[in-house]
Amino acid sequence: MRTPEPDLKALMLAGLAGDAAAYRTLLESLERELAPFFRRRLAGDAAEAPDLVQETLIAIHTRRGTYDHSQPFAAWVYAIARHKLVDHFRRRGRAATIPIEDGGALFAADESAGAEARHDLENALARLPPATQSLIRDIKLRELSHAEAARSRGMSETAAKVAVHRGMKKLANMLRPQKDTPP
Amino acid sequence: MSELPRQLSAGLAAVPPFFVPRRLLLGLGGGVLVSILGVVAFLHLRPDLLDAMGTAMFWVKLAYPLSLALVAGLAAERLARPAATARDRLVWLALPFGAVALAAIVQFVTAAPHSRDAIVMGGSARVCPFLVLAASLPPLLGLIWAMRGLAPTRLRETGAVIGLAAGGVGAFAYAWHCTEWGAPFLAFWYTLGILAAAALGALLGPILLRWK
């Protein structure tokens, strides 16, 4: 059961007004959403995910006054989670390359909704040229840097970026939902 | 499911409206108060204060740094929120910088050659930037305190912007002591002190604004 974004925002606004019950519900949903978010991005050391979830919840709580009501709530949560993750990598001395997303991804791509989406993605990927396919797999799914992916193929970083960009555009076109199709 | 949501929501207090600007104003205001008291106590108000109030330059020397502080403060209000940008607010800095630079050029060009030294170097060029920087330290500390309770994610940029705001109000406090009247003096030496405060903020931001 997933809580859609407008509900989270409503819960947040109620929490900011002092409604403890709404606020607790909000933190519980966020805790559920954040766990897969960190697990996916931590890859090797997913065991750290629970700690990061806790730290992020605490940061969300202590800095809740900085949420601007006119902005999407998911983007605010995502920015805090991302900052925590960058900080984690920095402490580990690992170069952090985390894409700046709009926050939609935090709620759109968790594990419960994953299987169907992965199926669609695989189908769409299969229709791209093989070289582009493997580049996108390395960079977007395995989160290698453009430089790493380019080096292993003996191509320039710019060429890799252009190829990935074109491939992603095609993918986006294939995956764009038709307006009149029922969900 | 951990105990955290229950613990954090227990005894939840409402967040007052305008939480971010209020906190920033509190840090800035507290700091400025200390700076003004410091200027009055250690440097003293300029002796010709009442006469000076009749001159335009006295007010320009207050308005210029204050307008820089205003723009920087508005930018800080943005940067206090995660992943926010403040470029669209910072472009307004061009207005006070540009206006004072223009006034300085006009005054310099139209001044008699023998009086140019007085309007560029005055009698206090050597101490002015340092005293402006010193006067900006209390508001800088206040703003760092304020930001540590907010959620900036661009720490160097945020540090520079609160340094600029602190430099602006620091120069405002110092102007009550300073007797210089040249626009070139203001454009160069005041700006230098203010930018030094911004540089200090940029230096301290990544260290002191890190999230615990």
**End-to-end CA gap in chain B:** 24
* Residues in Cβ contact with A80 at an 8 Å cutoff, skipping those fewer than 6 apart: A56, A59, A60, A63, B82, B151
Q: What pLDDT was estimated at residue A138?
A: 73
Q: Predicted confidence band at B18 (pLDDT cuts at 50, 70, 90)?
A: very high
Q: Which of B4, B12, B20 sits opposite A66 (nearest CB)?
A: B20
| Cα–Cα distance measured from residue A3 to residue B152, given in angstroms and rounded to the nearest whole number | 27
Q: What pLDDT was estimated at residue B210?
A: 93
Q: What pLDDT was estimated at residue A112?
A: 41
Q: Is the pLDDT of residue B14 over 90?
A: yes
Q: Is the pLDDT of residue B165 over 80?
A: yes
Q: Is the pLDDT of residue A123 over 70?
A: no
Q: What pLDDT was estimated at residue A183?
A: 36
| Cα–Cα distance measured from residue A100 to residue B153, given in angstroms and rounded to the nearest whole number | 12
CB B171 within 8 A of CB B190: yes
Is B124 within 8 Å of chain A by CB?
no
Look at B211 and A75 and tell me if their CB atoms are within 8 Å: no
| Alpha-carbon distances of B109 from A24, B58, B124, rounded to whole Å | 67, 21, 22
**What are the start-end ranges of the H helices in chain B?**
4-9, 19-38, 49-52, 56-79, 87-90, 94-110, 116-120, 128-148, 155-174, 183-185, 191-208
CB atoms within 10 A of CB B51: 10
**B151-165 as b/e, with b when 16 or more CB fall inside 10 Å?**
bbbbbebbbbbbbbb
Residues of chain A above pLDDT 70, percent: 73
Average pLDDT, chain B: 95
Look at A83 and B82 and tell me if their CB atoms are within 8 Å: yes
**pLDDT tens digit string along A128-170?**
777 777 777 777 766 667 777 777 777 888 888 888 888 877 7
Q: What pLDDT was estimated at residue B187?
A: 96
| Cα–Cα distance measured from residue A56 to residue A54, given in angstroms and rounded to the nearest whole number | 5
Q: What pLDDT was estimated at residue A150?
A: 77
Q: Is the pLDDT of residue A171 over 80?
A: no
* Dihedral over alpha carbons A154, A157, A161, A162 (to 10 degrees): -70
The residue-averaged pLDDT of B156-178 equals 97
Is B1 within 8 Å of chain A by CB?
yes
CB B89 within 8 A of CB B75: yes
Residues of chain A above pLDDT 90, percent: 30
Q: Which of A31, A61, A100 sits opposite B1 (nearest CB)?
A: A31
Distance from CA of B138 to the nearest CA of A (A): 24
Partners of A19 on chain B (C-beta within 8 Å) are: 12
Partners of A32 on chain B (C-beta within 8 Å) are: 1
**pLDDT tens digit string along B27-83?**
999 999 999 999 999 999 999 999 999 999 999 999 999 999 999 999 999 999 998
Higher pLDDT, residue A16 or A105: A16
Least Cα distance to B61 among B152, B134, B128, B106 occurs for: B128
The residue-averaged pLDDT of B193-199 equals 98
Q: Predicted confidence band at A115 (pLDDT cuts at 50, 70, 90)?
A: very low
**pLDDT tens digit string along B86-121?**
999 999 999 999 999 999 999 999 999 999 999 999
Angle ∠(A21,A25,A30) on CA atoms, nearest 5: 145
CB B151 within 8 A of CB B68: no
Residues of chain B above pLDDT 70, percent: 100
| Cα–Cα distance measured from residue A84 to residue B153, given in angstroms and rounded to the nearest whole number | 10
A56-60 contacts at long range (C-beta below 8 A, 24 or more positions apart): A56/A80, A56/A81, A56/A84, A57/A27, A57/A30, A57/A31, A57/B4, A57/B5, A57/B8, A58/B4, A58/B8, A59/A83, A59/A84, A59/B151, A59/B211, A60/A27, A60/A30
Question: Which residue's entry shows tokens 């406090």?
Answer: B173
Q: Is the pLDDT of residue B194 over 90?
A: yes
| Alpha-carbon distances of A18 from A13, B82, B193, rounded to whole Å | 9, 22, 44
CB A31 within 8 A of CB B1: yes
| Alpha-carbon distances of A8 from A25, A27, B2, B161, rounded to whole Å | 9, 9, 19, 32
Q: Predicted confidence band at A102 (pLDDT cuts at 50, 70, 90)?
A: low
Look at A15 and B83 and tell me if their CB atoms are within 8 Å: no
CB atoms within 10 A of CB A67: 25
Q: Is the pLDDT of residue A6 over 70?
A: no
Q: Predicted confidence band at B192 (pLDDT cuts at 50, 70, 90)?
A: very high
Q: What pLDDT was estimated at residue A177?
A: 53
Is B19 within 8 Å of chain A by CB?
yes
Please tell me which residue of chain B has the smallest CA distance to A55: B212
Q: Predicted confidence band at B154 (pLDDT cuts at 50, 70, 90)?
A: very high
Preferred mutation among A33, A58, A63, A98 to probe B, highest tally of B CBs within 10 A: A63
Confidence (pTM) = 0.76
